[in-house]
Amino acid sequence: MAFGQPAPPVWQMQDSGTTAGLRGIDSVDGTVAWASGTGGTVLRTVDGGAHWTRCAVPDGEKDGATLDFRGVQAWDAKTAIVMASGPGNKSRLYKATDGCGTWKLLYKNPDKDGFWDAVAFNTKDRGFILGDPVGGRFVLYFTLDGGKTWGRVKTADLEAENGKAGGFAASNSEMTLGYDGLPMFGTSGPGGPWLYVPDNVCTMVTAQEHPAACFDGELRFEKVKMPLAGESTTAGIFSLTYRPSGGETVAVGGDYRRPNEVSGTASVARAMWHYPLGPTEAVEIPPHGYRSTVQWSDSLKVWITAGTNGSDISRDDGRTWQPLDDGNWNALSLPFIVGPNGRIARLNPSAIPAGK
């Protein structure tokens, strides 16, 4: 860099071709990626973000343009699933297998009082949907056939704390798949935040050999209190990621009404045998504000988190964080990041500041 020239941006902005609010992003390999958001918006790139193409609107001939697609999961340039979040049957799942020209409705929320927060698949066949509590219990659906049919996890362990806890559909990362590919998720609200962790009753062998029985009846959860901002419906865990190689789960959040408040914006649960049951730790130097997304970069060996007042990086497994930028962001799937008003950018690793 020549003397006197500004440093290159960490996030290099791209032209999304839309002004939709984007909360869904899934990078297949850094070249192929899919994004989603408000107004029935689904986008796809096959050239690393040099060009983003707007896909057909799922159910566009009906009410698709009213849907808010807050989650997307893709497998290649042709195959992806998008999740709409909304009250009752405005929460839906669609699948494309032809690029993004046509969509098939897979599932509508059967609970009129429900609201979906996240979707995650660990194979093309096996996946989960997390929803806000209905009747005082978090809703967790599972599929073993790629979304053709869905069952409901029935364990009593899904009861919401104080009957008032909830989740956030901020970045499709309120739920992550941890050890054995089983779901864990975070909560908000009075008495929280809590991390719901699958216990070892539903083992890897059971999950592989008898998955229907495992997910239907044997999948149990333990609750771990996380040292994050909580005690209100606008604060708690917004995103979490489990890193198998390190055995830790990093959770981020805070209070979205107070985006510049740094206290209680990140915590870490360390591994105990298979599962991240503790101990839990508040971080030493937190991110510089509320955060709605977090991800581990295996290639860079760093954690990155982002929210409405910027992004941060951690090189020591979430203990300390260093600011990267002050942009307005919602969700990560490295190397991409998305936000409101059609914001999409790609990480420029060479512009990441040196560690402190």
- Nearest-CA neighbor of 33 among 50, 17, 20, 19? 50
Pick from 15-19, 197-201, 267-271: least confident: 197-201
Domain for residue 295, yes or no? yes
pLDDT of residue 34: 98
- Residue 205 backbone dihedrals phi, psi, to 5 degrees: -65, -45
Cis peptide before 335 (omega within 30 of 0): yes
Name beta bridge partners: 237.
Answer: 253
- Nearest-CA neighbor of 285 among 304, 303, 263? 263
Domain for residue 259, yes or no? yes
* Residue-number span of the structural domain to which 145 is assigned: 11-351
pLDDT of residue 65: 97
User: In this structure, are residues 281 and 270 in contact, taking their beta carbons and an 8 Å threshold?
Assistant: yes
pLDDT of residue 83: 98
pLDDT grade for 245, boundaries at 50, 70 and 90? confident
Domain for residue 6, yes or no? no
Rounded mean pLDDT, 144-171? 88
Alpha-carbon gap, residue 130 to 302, rounded angstroms = 27
Cis peptide before 353 (omega within 30 of 0): no
Domain for residue 2, yes or no? no
| Cβ neighbours of 15 (radius 10 Å) | 11
pLDDT in tens, 326-344: 999 999 999 999 999 999 9
Pick from 4-18, 25-39, 98-112: least confident: 4-18
pLDDT of residue 103: 98
As given in the structure block, the two tokens for residue 155 are 């364990």
Domain for residue 279, yes or no? yes
Q: Give Cβ neighbours of residue 130 (< 8 Å, ≥ 6 apart).
A: 116, 117, 118, 119, 138, 139, 140, 167, 174, 175, 183, 185
pTM: 0.93
pLDDT of residue 210: 61
Domain for residue 278, yes or no? yes
Alpha-carbon gap, residue 350 to 24, rounded angstroms = 25
| Cβ neighbours of 17 (radius 10 Å) | 14
Name beta bridge partners: 142.
Answer: 128, 151
Number of residues that make up the chain: 356
Domain for residue 3, yes or no? no
Provide the CATH number for the domain around residue 97.
2.130.10.10
- pLDDT, greater one: 181 or 93: 93
Alpha-carbon gap, residue 220 to 330, rounded angstroms = 31
Please state the domain count of the chain: 1
User: In this structure, are residues 21 and 12 in contact, taking their beta carbons and an 8 Å threshold?
Assistant: no
Domain for residue 98, yes or no? yes
- Nearest-CA neighbor of 178 among 253, 85, 115, 272? 272
Judged on CB neighbours under 10 Å (0-12, 13-18, 19+), 355 is exposed
